[in-house]
Homo-oligomer: A and B are copies of this chain.
Amino acid sequence: MNQRDEFKRIGMRLRQEGLVGANFGNMSVRDGAGFLITRKGAFLDCPEDLVFVPLEGAVPPDASSEYRLHREVYRLTRHRAVVHAHPPHAVAISLHRDCIIPVDSEGEMFCPAIPVVNGPPGSMEMAERAASALKDGVAVIVRGHGTFCGARTLEEGYVLTSIVEHSCRVLLLSQVK
């Protein structure tokens, strides 16, 4: 399967599960001395041409506005793919916590402590904090914004995103007693 088809397959799954709405979110995969990222404003389930962004140097103007975060992840970590989504339970719970500790078995196994960082979307400040959290981890939430998962493949990044949202949803639902 070529890259674009794989982006589309994962984008469709992210949308069908309610992990992104509208044209929220973006995704990338490491590619040589840079990475391929979704276009600015693209719908993840209908990706148009992907944009190559080098690790150093000028960035094409049509790259996703979150390219700084993706670039820092590829500079600072070993991850080969990054998936960014806006799952509603993860976003809501991030408003009140600095670190999320899942109580369901998948969360406990795959992301036992999910850090929450601050910073304006698209900023270098946020990019550095999130990338730093992904050095030793696989998932981070930018407060009030969304999840970033680092993985070997887009599929793995999507699975992690799904786990984070499931864990946050279970945490919130378990408050209703």
Q: Which of A32-40, A74-82, A83-91, A129-137 forms part of the interface with chain B?
A: A83-91
A17 contacts the other chain (CB 8 A)? yes
Q: A24-B106, A103-B95, A158-B22 are in contact. Are A86 and B176 (CB under 8 A)?
A: no
Q: A105-B144, A173-B88 are in contact. Are A159 and B96 (CB under 8 A)?
A: no
Report the bound CA distance from A24 to B106 in whole Å: 9
Closest Cβ–Cβ distance, residue A58 to chain B (whole Å): 25
Assembly stoichiometry (copies): 4
- In this complex, how many residues of chain A approach chain B with their Cβ under 8 Å: the count is 43
Enumerate chain A interface residues (CB-CB to B < 8 A): 13, 15-18, 21-24, 86, 88-89, 91-93, 95-96, 103-106, 108-109, 120-121, 142, 144-146, 158-159, 162-163, 165-166, 169-170, 172-177
Q: A144-B105, A166-B88, A174-B92 are in contact. Are A22 and B159 (CB under 8 A)?
A: yes
Residue of B nearest to A169 (CB): B88
Which of B16, B24, B104, B145 contacts A144, CB < 8 Å?
B104
